[in-house]
Amino acid sequence: MARRQQTPEVGTEEQPGTLAQRIGLTEFRNRLTWVVRQVISGERFVISDHKDFVIAVVSPDDLRALETLEDRVDLLEAREALEESDERTPYAEVRKELGLE
């Protein structure tokens, strides 16, 4: 059975920035229950298939944190775009265009 590897390096070309354990797809399939238990206890996994990362397995808390981060980035980008544009569309017009009235 293949040994799982810790991936302490962050942001190399060959892998995404991660401190997750890396295991192969076959080992993931064979040890699914073990992986789930590890994730419940706080571990993160990246699953690879022929050296390509294909999936990440993280806890619901990590997923929520990632979604919150994405929302903040989206909000910052929207604010920047708004500051760069003089064009404004009234809220009522937007609702009408979207068929919400």
CA 47 to chain CA centroid, nearest Å: 14
Q: What range defines the domain where residue 78 resides?
A: 61-97
pLDDT at 51: 82
Residue 8 has, within 13 A of its CA and on its CB side, a CA count of: 0
Same domain, 53 and 68: no
pLDDT digits (tens, 9 = 90+) for 6-40: 443 333 344 555 578 999 999 999 999 999 999 99
Does the predicted model carry a pTM greater than 0.85? no
The helix (H) or strand (E) run that includes residue 15 is none
The total of structural domains in the chain comes to: 2
The helix (H) or strand (E) run that includes residue 58 is none
pLDDT at 12: 35
Same domain, 16 and 47: yes
pLDDT at 1: 46
pLDDT digits (tens, 9 = 90+) for 52-100: 899 999 999 999 999 999 999 999 999 998 889 888 889 999 999 999 9
Q: Give the integer Cα–Cα distance in Å for 45 and 39.
A: 8
